[in-house]
Amino acid sequence: MNNGVPKKQGLYDPAYEHDSCGVGFVCNVDGSRTNDIVAKGISVLERMSHRGAVGSDPKTGDGAGILMQIPHEFLKKVCDESKIIIPCSGKYGAGMVFLPTDRADREFCTNLFERIAIKEGLSVLGWRNVPVNDNMLGKGAKETQPVICQVLVGCGDEGWASPLDFERKLYIVRRQVEKYVRESAIKQKNIFYITGLSSRTLSYKGLLMPEQVRNYFVDLADTDMKSAMLLVHSRYSTNTFPTWDLAQPFRFLAHNGEINTVRGNINWFRARERLMSSPLFGTDIEKIKPVIVEGGSDSATLDNVFEILTLAGRPIEHVMMMLIPNAWHNDKNMDASVKEFYKYHACIMEPWDGPAAVAFTDGTNIGAVLDRNGLRPARYIVTKNGFVVMSSEAGVLDVPASDILRSGRLEPGKMFFIDTKEKRIIDDKEIKERVAKQAPYAEWNKKYSLSMSDLRRVSAVEDVSGNVLELMKNFGYTREDLKIILKPMAADGEEPIGSMGNDTPHAVLSKKCQMFYDYFKQLFAQVTNPPIDPIREEIVMSLDTYIGQGKNVLDETSEHCHKICVKSPILDNEELEAIRNININGFKTKTIYTHFKASCEEDLLNAIDRICFEAEFAVEKGFTFIILSDRGVNVGNAALPALLATGAVHQHLVRKTVRSQISILVESGEPREVNHFALLFGYGADCVNPYLAYEAVKHIVKEDGLGIDGETAVKNYKKAVSKGIMKILSKMGISTLQSYKGAQIFEALGLNGEVVDRCFTGTASRISGADFSVIAKETILRHNEAYAPAQANVPYLQTGGRYQWKKDGEFHLWNPESIAALQDAVRKNDYGLYKKFAALISDQSKNPTTLRSLLKSRQNASVPISEVEPVDEIVKRFVTGAMSFGSISKGAHESIAIAMNRLGGKSNTGEGGEDPVRFKTFLNGDSARSAIKQVASGRFGVTTNYLVNANELQIKIAQGAKPGEGGQLPGHKVSAIIAKTRYTTAGVTLISPPPHHDIYSIEDLAQLIFDLKNVNPRARISVKLVSEIGVGTIAAGVAKGHADMILISGGDGGTGASPRSSIMYAGLPWELGLSETHQTLVLNDLRGRVRLQTDGQMRTGRDVAMAALLGAEEYGFCSAVLVTLGCVMLRHCHLNNCSLGVATQDECLEKRFAGKPEYVVNYMRFVAQELREIMSELGVRTVHELVGRSELLEMNKEILPWKAEGLDYSRLLYKPQVSPDVCTRCATQQTHNIEHVLDREIIDKAKDALEKAEPVTLEFGIKNTDRTVGAMLSGGICRRYGEGVLPEDTIRCKFRGVAGQSFGAFLTKGITFEMEGLANDYVGKGMSGGKIMIYPDRSATYRSDENIIIGNTAFYGATSGEAYIRGVAGERFCVRNSGVYAVVEGVGDHGCEYMTGGRVVILGRTGRNFAAGMSGGIAYVYDESGDFASKCNVGMVRIEELTPIDKETVKYLLARHHKFTDSARAKEILEDFENKKGRFVRVMPVEYKRILEIQKTDGSLNLAGVLNG
Amino acid sequence: MAKDVKAFLKTARRSSEYRPVTERVSDYKDVVIARPDDSSKEQASRCMDCGTPFCHWGCPLGNVIPEWNDLVMSGKWQKAFDLLRATNNFPEITGRVCPALCEAACVLGLNDEPVTVRENELAVIEYAFKTGYIKPRNINNRTGKKVAVVGSGPAGLACADELNAMGHSVTVFERDAKAGGFMRYGIPDFKLEKWILDRRVDLMEKEGVEFVFGTSVGSDKYKTEKLLKGFDAVCLACGSRTPRDINIDGRNSKGIYFAVDYLSQSNRKVSGENISGEIIDAKDKKVVVIGGGDTGSDCVGTANRQGAKSVLQIEVMPQPSESRACDYPWPLYPLILRTSSSHKEGVERKWSVLTKRFFAENGHVKKLQCANVRFIKNSTTGNLEMKEVPGTEFDVEADLVVIAAGFLHTEKTALISEMNLALDARGNVKTDDKYKTSCDKVFSAGDMRRGQSLVVWGIYEGRQAAKRIGEYLGE
């Protein structure tokens, strides 16, 4: 399988491919099989082609296909022609098979197939060659094209009791054939693939583009092809090595999304296989193991598991509920029986967590389910004659509006289900309640399920409070750990916050003893899946965990839920003792001590062997819990690093397939930071008892007071850990701890393969590093230090020095000497002094810190420096990092912009917008306009005018210091000027959500790129990613999404405020990310289309040289620039008390700012000059020639620190071998496909308005492929007139049809869009003063307030304008709206989230979590059913009665709504307003109300301005 | 007390006050009025607890200044003392006489007044003494190893204190009658009262350090051989006591003294020690102090207390600027005009003045002939070269001249020759990077090794040497 994928090489690893896609189905509810369904299904597929992607080869898609009922009539006909005799429908199985092109190999496969079929009592009736037309295939697809056959399998002599029995047998045959071919020696075994083998369904798929499917498979043109349902899928893969076999649909399902937890899910499923049995399979069960086929995508894996669970007897809807459960824990409105079902099944299976829209079918029933976050769009239409079309977008099929019975969307966590036998659509509630009543789940739960409170609490065996200090020394606690990490956790229950980046050595390079945890870095979601907001969207999250013995997954009995439900996995001492002494039937606990002899390095491995053996033995002996304990360390006995012990035992038990039978509890003095816990859970711990951390917290209380008692402090500490874990989960887009456990969402940095394979199997570790002996040595060193005489007597711990530079602490690259040297050099404009600074940074032979510090250049013939590209040219490649005005002061922000403009480089606005005053050049020729305008998730200050005034638009997906997280600017920091540039209200807290709510997947990113390119075609579009394993494949996807430049940020980069654990532990060095990206893009032949940039702790010309040699064309500087302007690394940015006036908004401190643009200019020129010298030595004349020349580098083995002797840079420095015509650096420009957009036509027709500001009225037809309509027009207006100058309604456009995504995006003042029909996602995104009205087609007969009319995430980040929507909107309506006045007749989940301004009137139902994180603006909800309160998140808002002014506002907006959309709903309310106004409630942010009161305004002032303007 | 992160904006720097001039010049008691603890707490709150604490970098000892500032602020004096003691053996001394390199490096000093680090340090240690928190430590784990430390200046004492704490048996040899070296016989009482040294020495004795006074090792009284035989390791910390002389006409006249002799005699007088030899007294004399440094300033203060008729201090280098010049960028210790408490007690100061010759009357100095000089950069070597300004010659009357022109190197004593110690180019004892001299088991530390320096560097050296000796003995 995976034929065609380049093998793993260098840093490229095919395992990190991501995909996401378009998915959909069509169905006749009554089950009637027609050819019409096939035709319609295929056109649905074709209309979603923009959701797929093309690679370097424009004719090779990422895969597309269909799944349908077996078209018996057709097969009968064609089999007859091929002389294959098939019995009647249902009595034979059919499947499409990809066969080797080599004849001998092919025959081997077919013979094998036949033999196994016979052995299993079936017979192969024949092999039918599937006729294909491969003329239109691209090179990539053609080269890897298999021989495609359909195999027809007879049911043999045995009479099958049920069709399902036959289906099962076909499965058993297929699994065996798959396994045998895989194990065989034939050369082309990778080509062999069975797309399915079933008596019910048949698929046609391949490495095709959606529009190629119809022509490629000649069969599909046959009018005898009939089915009642057709499932379609179009794939968008991040890289260009898509393969034939990964095309979807699979056997049962098609998936749009990404299972984030797949690694853990695979392990857990494997861990259950030992116990897996079923009377339906009997002894055959062994033939299908392992169930999960290695090397499959997340979707393929999900299908594997879905298949076995279904064939073992559970109905498909039941299986789907098991695998992708709704967020049931906190749902107040869910039926009790359904909750019990979920609770019961949580004991059997962890959720397969991640963004997912899954369509599934067994040939009779067809359905679709959406993940709990609703992170994929899914729209459907039901017609009056019983036809259903469901797909990722509306408008994929032309359905006359008058035929539409219902226009709907799949809601988060909900299921849409059609039973063609019952000939009806069964709604979510009914289908789930039906499943939930299959068995007495509630009764079982009540009887067998336990909670911690059911256990008898026992106090701890051993009180260690007497020798806390000694133990803390032993476990490597430092004074910093207490002061900086634990104190804030204990005092406030909050995770500690810090600022600036990490400039200390990687654990493997450090000369200080490191905790073993430090060898790992957190991974995080970027682009292909969104992170979650663990605070505002807590409703979808849960830390519940079920411990106890797992049972047979194919069965369900009352005993299956005989587990203990633990609400918080951080156990206190009493809880752990309760489990240790448990005395409840079936439960038994074994404590395994993790000590080893401190005198003997080798004993570490012995100890690992011992604990693994003891754990396995415990399983055999029927224990249900093991406690891995390091209590009792002393001079002679050291503790195994808890993570090493946990990983070793977990992996050992997984390998023995018994892991699910026992729970692993960790009792350790080691874990204290959030990241420690996250790692323990991520590598298999079920619960953790940090007994020493508790004592340390109490110690702090004793020493510091804190004004609380020890118990409260411990409670706070646990709370902080829980919150922190939620945050780490959410960064990866994972909702439940249950799925996170064992999911291994980390990358190792500096561990060798032996350690990883044994204890952290499957974790990436790309530069190798420390082995067991190094780990043993380091552990023993720390252990012995604790007992050394010098340490033993002192009443305090060691310094630490990780967070604050200390003489005797950890090394920092930014230290007093280097900071002072740089400042001296730039102030005196003295290159000699700069070189002294550069030497302090670059000569790391004493303290190697970064990966690049260990690189040196190979000898090469030099060239005279006079021949090297001049400084003036080089500095144009330099940019400064995204530091917002808000995070740094006005003086600093403008100095940087002026300096970069003088140099011809680029400065970056950061996320906070920019004062339009700065767009104008000063009289002296200077300009403070930032060339790069950032577009981040909060969209603060992102107006059309802002976008137009940019040379580059940068989409910030992640930030090095806190990838996967959002941000928050507390109200007290939002000064008047900050509020103005961010288009918000002073004093109101501003929250940046973790994800961009218009980017949940790669195709969404492509859409935003398209949006931005439309609004400002002159700007290049860049995407900022952060280094982690797999960033290369993501970058390939981004390149395919037409980004012009990709920035790979290092995980060490700086920040104005971020949790300390994120600064230290999230993200990887840019060296790895950059090199991986460069290698992957070259291998993909995509490198020529994009430029690469890198940043993160970049300081010197040497750094730049390394970046260039590893593949970057441009280079970003951040902290160093601040240092030139006066920053001395106080690391106080988050405190707003920067005494240098650099990172503060405090007026008094801002005055102390003493930086000058000259300093930045001097610095940049020095760096360029140093680079020139290096280039001269290397014999390279231009930077262009330098890019990607990794062969000029090698590892400097002479300076390797002792722990790092095993480091291996061969993958980092790998240079892919490609043919000479493949570009290895940027050579061409992206094609943005904006030449023929509808806007061109509008602009053409609106000439009078554009040139003379004369009003025009225009009309257009529109379809779903017309995307981002209005953006280019708006950009043009802003460029010409600036912001808000054109009078209202100057350009009036009326559209009819179905609008594509981003309808009316960035619509600026003076433009009015009227839309008759339907619209997709992102309506009015970033609207800046425009007016949008949307109403259903005049011929439609359905009720507008009950049917969906626009998609998700409408008016996201909009700053002003008006919107009137006659119909229901999808999820996340008006997210981060800061000024739009909108009326809508119903919204989905998360409405008005993070809103900071504007007014929203909702005339119908809202979804859950309304107003989460809403800090400004007002929403008016017509609460007819009276249940609004249960759906509103009152974290920041209050539900109140309307004031008289509110009533006027609502009435006025309703009148407008009625006038523009002819809304019956509006009319009905208006006509009886006096009676109905009472049903309105207003949702008022607490903070906003207070500010309005202070300002003595009532919220009506702005109203007049907008409404009359 | 939670830290107010903006305290530095609300509280101004306040140093301790001096006693009124008229009062203080009539005695030799400390010129400083001790600061109340509350004021120290307030001053400590100005510390910004920088992510990169330059003060901590600037301090040769690496005092963890932000950490104990934080503790002082919240009144956790004992914890502050624990941390202070970890890096500094004698905070009560550095807290009084250190020029505070830390304060020069303080980040707040960049655009505001630096934190009063030195005085905070003093507050911590005096609080610890005052409240009896400091008690002689019981050192139980005696190693049985014997170490001799020769010299009881800051380096010798610090070395002894550290080695003693490690469990070694330490004997300190001192040629003078009491311990302290230049701290006792150089620094005047009005800057460092001698009971402070006594208190410390007493503590060290109680902790087991043996002191042998009035014994010059290398003399007949105590042969070098005996030392080498009797101890497992030796640390030489004899200072750098060879003063720099001015070799000009008339130098042989009476009434011209080295500062070290002048100050040492004065200090002995104050503490009631016997004085042998010529009495040097400034009473009613016109005093000229040659040398503008700290020692010179001490001579000025002493002369005033002795009742000098007038005091003139001259310095050959130009007058430094009042604020940091760009040659000494932050966080380096800047060369700036410093005016000590002694200067405020009455002195005329002149810069760029070269002393060309002494004129004597009856063999006793009567007059100095001086001239103004300029320093000009040599365009080829880049070095500054001194040029006399023609026609600026002038005479200065003087009855007593004190030469405070610094020290050259350690004294070439019998100890050095008998041990046959290698010396470095400047004439100081040469060691390897582990403080070991060319003689087996002999180490050296302090000014004797590194040349003339500050007390704080002496302590640093003593600690480092102790660490190395500890390693040596452990092998």
Token reading at A439: 């068995």
- Report whether B384 contacts B373 (CB < 8 A): no
Token reading at A891: 């003086």
Q: What is the pLDDT of residues A22-48, one digit of tens each?
A: 899 999 999 999 999 999 999 999 988
CB contact under 8 A, A1131 and B52: yes
- pLDDT confidence tier of residue A1283, bands split at 50, 70 and 90: confident
Burial, A90: exposed, middle or buried (Cβ in 10 Å; 0-12, 13-18, 19+)?
Answer: middle
Peptide bond preceding A377 in cis form (omega within 30 of 0): no
Cβ contacts of A1197 within 8 Å, gap of 6 or more: none
- Report whether A131 contacts A148 (CB < 8 A): no
Instruction: Return the number of CB contacts < 8 Å for A and B.
Output: 100
- Report whether A445 contacts A561 (CB < 8 A): yes
Share of chain A above pLDDT 70, in %: 97
Q: What is the pLDDT of residues A661-718, one digit of tens each?
A: 999 999 999 999 999 999 999 999 999 999 999 999 999 999 887 889 999 999 999 9
Q: What's CA B220's distance to the chain center, in Å?
A: 30
Residue A1027 CB neighbours (<10 A): 30
Using CA atoms, how far residue A137 sits from A297, A905, A1221, in Å, is: 23, 43, 21
- Report whether B238 contacts B151 (CB < 8 A): yes
N-terminal to C-terminal alpha carbon distance within chain B: 47
Checking if the pLDDT of A436 tops 70, the result is yes
Under DSSP, is residue A649 helix (H, G, I), strand (E, B) or coil? helix
Checking if the pLDDT of A936 tops 90, the result is yes
The predicted complex's ipTM stands at 0.95
Q: What is the pLDDT of residues A1056-1100, one digit of tens each?
A: 888 999 999 999 999 999 999 999 999 988 999 999 999 999 999
Interface with B, mutate which of A806, A822, A1152 (most B CBs under 10 A)? A806
Checking if the pLDDT of B249 tops 70, the result is yes
- Report whether A594 contacts A614 (CB < 8 A): no
pLDDT, average across residues B199-220: 95
Mean pLDDT, chain A, rounded, equals 93
pLDDT, average across residues B60-88: 96
- Report whether A1137 contacts A1146 (CB < 8 A): yes
Nearest to A638 by CA among A598, A609, A697, A585: A598
The pLDDT assigned to B140 comes to 84
Q: Please check whether residue B333 touches A, CB under 8 A.
A: no
The pLDDT assigned to A760 comes to 97
Q: Please check whether residue B141 touches A, CB under 8 A.
A: yes
Q: Please check whether residue B162 touches A, CB under 8 A.
A: no
d(CA A178, CA A156): 21
Alpha helices by DSSP H, listed for A601-641, are 603-620
Stated as kind and residue range, the H or E segment containing A97 is strand A92-99
Contacts of B52 in chain A (CB under 8 A): 804-805, 812, 814-816, 819, 1128-1131
Nearest to A842 by CA among A529, A617, A1164, A1104: A1104
Token reading at A804: 């604050």
Contacts of A807 in chain B (CB under 8 A): 56-57, 62
Query: Is the pLDDT higher at A239 or at A1113?
Result: A1113
Q: Please check whether residue B229 touches A, CB under 8 A.
A: no
The pLDDT assigned to B1 comes to 46
- pLDDT confidence tier of residue A4, bands split at 50, 70 and 90: low
CB contact under 8 A, A824 and B329: yes
Q: What is the pLDDT of residues A357-366, one digit of tens each?
A: 999 999 999 9
Nearest to B102 by CA among B433, B454, B472: B454
Residue type (1 letter), A951: N
Checking if the pLDDT of A3 tops 50, the result is no
N-terminal to C-terminal alpha carbon distance within chain A: 63
Contacts of A812 in chain B (CB under 8 A): 52
Of the partner residues B53, B105, B107, the one whose CB lies closest to the CB of residue A804: B53
Q: What's CA A293's distance to the chain center, in Å?
A: 25
Nearest CA in chain A to B1: A706
Q: Please check whether residue B332 touches A, CB under 8 A.
A: yes
Checking if the pLDDT of A458 tops 80, the result is no
Of the partner residues B5, B111, B332, the one whose CB lies closest to the CB of residue A1152: B111
The pLDDT assigned to A54 comes to 58
Nearest CA in chain A to B8: A1139
pLDDT, average across residues A288-305: 91
Q: Please check whether residue B112 touches A, CB under 8 A.
A: yes
The alpha-carbon gap from A1152 to the nearest alpha carbon of chain B, in Å, equals 7
CB contact under 8 A, B112 and A1139: yes
Phi-psi region of A354 (alpha: psi -120 to 50; beta: other; left: phi over 0): left
Q: Which residues pair with A416 in a beta bridge?
A: A368
Of the partner residues A799, A1132, A1140, the one whose CB lies closest to the CB of residue B64: A799
Token reading at A467: 């020798």
Query: Is the pLDDT higher at A7 or at A71?
Result: A71
Of A21, A155, A561, A565, the catalytic one is A21
The pTM of the whole model exceeds 0.80 = yes
Stated as kind and residue range, the H or E segment containing B443 is strand B442-444
The pLDDT assigned to A461 comes to 66
Q: Please check whether residue B95 touches A, CB under 8 A.
A: no
- Report whether A269 contacts A309 (CB < 8 A): no
Contacts of B66 in chain A (CB under 8 A): 804
The pLDDT assigned to A1503 comes to 40
A1118 is catalytic: no
Contacts of B74 in chain A (CB under 8 A): 704
- pLDDT confidence tier of residue A1501, bands split at 50, 70 and 90: very low
The pLDDT assigned to A1508 comes to 30
Of the partner residues B8, B64, B332, the one whose CB lies closest to the CB of residue A1139: B8
- pLDDT confidence tier of residue A775, bands split at 50, 70 and 90: very high
The pLDDT assigned to A1502 comes to 44
Contacts of A805 in chain B (CB under 8 A): 51-53, 56-57
CB contact under 8 A, A1139 and B53: no
pLDDT, average across residues A987-995: 88
Stated as kind and residue range, the H or E segment containing A1349 is strand A1348-1350
Share of chain A above pLDDT 90, in %: 81
The alpha-carbon gap from A511 to the nearest alpha carbon of chain B, in Å, equals 19
- Half-sphere exposure of residue A690: CA atoms within 13 angstroms, side-chain side: 30
- Report whether B358 contacts B251 (CB < 8 A): yes
d(CA A76, CA B459): 100
d(CA B63, CA B56): 6
CB contact under 8 A, A1148 and B83: no
The alpha-carbon gap from A805 to the nearest alpha carbon of chain B, in Å, equals 5
Q: Is the dihedral of CA A563, A566, A569, A572 positive or negative?
A: negative
Interface with B, mutate which of A701, A787, A804, A818 (most B CBs under 10 A)? A804
Q: How many residues does chain A have?
A: 1509
Query: Is the pLDDT higher at A739 or at A48?
Result: A739
The alpha-carbon gap from A1131 to the nearest alpha carbon of chain B, in Å, equals 5
